[in-house]
Amino acid sequence: MAAPLTQGPATRGEEDVDGKRRGARVVSNEDSKDCILEPLSLPEGPGGTTTSEASPSVPCIFCEEHVPATEQDKLLKHMIIEHKIVIADVKLVADFPRYILYWRKRFAEQPITDFCSVIRINSTAPLEEQDNYFLLCDVLPEDRVLREELQKRRLREILEQQQQERNDNSFRGICMFCNEEFLGNRSVLLNHMAREHAFNIGLPDNIVNCSEFLRTLQKKLNNLQCLYCEKTFRDKNTLKDHMRKKQHRRINPKNREYDRFYVINYLVSLSLHSKFDCISANKISLRAI
């Protein structure tokens, strides 16, 4: 019962390609960065402040509905049901609150059809069963530039953080396995755990937000959970024995929760994003033929 997706008559037309519309113009000149950066300085509003960390909630693009920043899916569902808008590849958006606030401002200025493709659902069904949805995706140059800017900004922040941690000699941490306390550079503790306990989470320089990473792992152990297979044990000693005997003194590589602690993932998501650009751009242009 999959509904066929076809583009409706009100899709963004060829004038986009020629750059007659605002979205296309944004990246077509040398000042593109300034153009996109200017609206990115987001307005103060209910729940909306200039940084995502300080913003406890994210508003809907179209109405006054707000959800906590951690409940992104709830907001996406609301926007699909109430406003029939779908955001493509939303998981690749580096800073969701900022992305939403940006489009909230732009949609208040211009009609939705200036930015979104129209997707007709059930196009082969009788007219009354058909429905139009709006697709916001990075085929629109303005959206692409926004997504890239948010990713670059996040990468910049991560690299700054990594540099700061690299040089920081006031780190203080306790070994998760023998409780010995370490002062100085984070690498001292990480090297100790690798050498003494065969617990290797990677080169210290490849890790970012190290203290938070260690806290996350410690919390798992406190909950009597094995770091590798993530099974829960009845007491500390049983868990310790299990991790040693089974050689589970490593982290679960499938646990995506740890991705954010490795600098490489921020670089990869930037290049992946470019690949997705090409794929989705191809799809749309093929459909338009």
Report in angstroms how near the CB of residue 109 gets to Zn ion at its nearest: 17
Q: Give 62 or 276: the residue with its C-beta nearer to Zn ion.
A: 62
Q: Judged by CB under 5 A, does residue 85 bind Zn ion?
A: no
Report in angstroms how near the CB of residue 132 gets to Zn ion at its nearest: 17
Stretch that binds Zn ion, among 2-10, 146-154, 169-177, 212-220 (CB under 5 A): 169-177
Stretch that binds Zn ion, among 107-115, 225-233, 258-266, 268-276 (CB under 5 A): 225-233
Element spanning 36, H or E? helix 32-40
Q: Give 36 or 60: the residue with its C-beta nearer to Zn ion.
A: 60
Site string for Zn ion, 238-257 (x = CB under 5 A): ----------x---------
First to last CA, the chain: 26
Report in angstroms how near the CB of residue 104 gets to Zn ion at its nearest: 10
SS3 173: strand
Amino acid at 193: M
Distance CA 93, CA 137 (A): 11
Stretch that binds Zn ion, among 107-115, 137-145, 179-187, 250-258 (CB under 5 A): 179-187
Q: Give 100 or 284: the residue with its C-beta nearer to Zn ion.
A: 100
Residues 6+ apart with CB under 8 A from 196: 175, 177, 178
Q: Are strands 181-184 and 131-136 parallel, antiparallel or unpaired?
A: unpaired
Q: Judged by CB under 5 A, does residue 108 bind Zn ion?
A: no
Q: Judged by CB under 5 A, does residue 226 bind Zn ion?
A: yes
Give me 121's structure tokens.
């659902």
Distance CA 183, CA 166 (A): 14
Among 3, 69, 80, 175, interactor with Zn ion by CB under 5 A = 175
Residues 6+ apart with CB under 8 A from 63: 82, 83
Amino acid at 263: V
Work out the number of other CB atoms within 10 angstroms of the CB of residue 78: 17
Closest residue by Cα to residue 230 from 199, 260, 253, 202: 253
Q: Judged by CB under 5 A, does residue 229 bind Zn ion?
A: yes
Stretch that binds Zn ion, among 5-13, 29-37, 75-83, 164-172 (CB under 5 A): 75-83
- Total residues interacting with Zn ion, rule: CB under 5 A: 13
Q: Judged by CB under 5 A, does residue 131 bind Zn ion?
A: no
Report in angstroms how near the CB of residue 15 gets to Zn ion at its nearest: 29
Q: Judged by CB under 5 A, does residue 178 bind Zn ion?
A: yes
Across the beta sheet with 5-7, what order do the strands follow?
Answer: 5-7, 117-121, 131-136, 85-87
Give contact residues for Zn ion (rule: CB under 5 A).
60, 62-63, 65, 82, 175, 177-178, 180, 226, 228-229, 248
